[in-house]
Amino acid sequence: MGFSVRHVHLAGTAGPPVCQPRPWWQNHDATGGSDGTWVRKTLVPRLDAEGLRVCIDHRDLRLGAPLVLEMGRAVEQSCYTLAILSPAYLTSNFTELENVLAEHLGLEKSQRRLLAVMREDCAPRLGIPARLWLEMTNDDQFETDVACLVHELRQPPDA
């Protein structure tokens, strides 16, 4: 598996967590891709350094467990699912499932559980453009952008 579905599941670190302080993201693009490398080598280490727990398929899903069940567990146990939008993201059928799971859980709990970052220009499905997303296409703006992302991920999903 490579990277296509970029979901990070996060929650705040202060006080007793309402949900696990984890972001969730998963990789499905068979070719890998620069967005997957960016997530694994740049974004996730920075979120980890900020004290946010990130749930990532290659280190947090249980080996041998059914993938769809593990994806559901990751979404349920995380406060946020962070979709890292790119052309590769749009090619994976798993992204649609993860989005639906996060959106459904958000509706059930009256929370915003699905957040999005635009990493590479693309035209996401109808439900994503209806939301505000964080533009992170310019690496020169990374420090400013990641500070905004960290701030948002520390907020409770029902804020």
Decide: helix, strand or coil at residue 4.
coil
Structural domain span for residue 53? 20-153
Between 19 and 131, the more confident residue is: 131
Across the chain, mean pLDDT equals 76
Cβ pair 3, 45 in contact under 8 A = no
Q: Is the residue at 11 inside a domain?
A: no
- At 8-23, the pLDDT tens digits run 444 433 333 334 444 5
Q: Is the residue at 70 inside a domain?
A: yes
Q: Is the residue at 14 inside a domain?
A: no
Q: Is the residue at 1 inside a domain?
A: no
Q: Is the residue at 5 inside a domain?
A: no
- At 32-55, the pLDDT tens digits run 456 678 888 999 999 999 998 888
Helix H or strand E segment including 109:
helix 93-109
Token digits of residue 75:
């979404």
CATH of the domain at 97: 3.40.50.10140
Q: How far apart are CA 63 and CA 66, in angstroms?
A: 9
> pLDDT value at position 24?
52
Please choose, from the candidates 93, 105, 99, the residue with its C-alpha nearest in 3D space to the C-alpha of residue 25: 99
Q: Is the residue at 9 inside a domain?
A: no
Cα torsion for 12, 17, 22, 23, to the nearest 10°?
A: -60
Least confident of 48-52, 97-101, 134-138: 97-101
Q: Is the residue at 50 inside a domain?
A: yes
The domain total for the chain is: 1
Q: Mind spelling out the 3-state secondary structure of 31-80? A: CCCHHHHHHHHHHHHHHHHCCCCCEEHHHHCCCCCCHHHHHHHHHHCEEE
Its pTM stands at 0.76
Q: Is the residue at 93 inside a domain?
A: yes
Please choose, from the candidates 58, 33, 30, 32, the residue with its C-alpha nearest in 3D space to the C-alpha of residue 44: 58
Token digits of residue 85:
């939008």
pLDDT band at residue 30, thresholds of 50, 70 and 90?
A: very low
Q: Phi, psi (5° rounding) for residue 58?
A: -70, -15
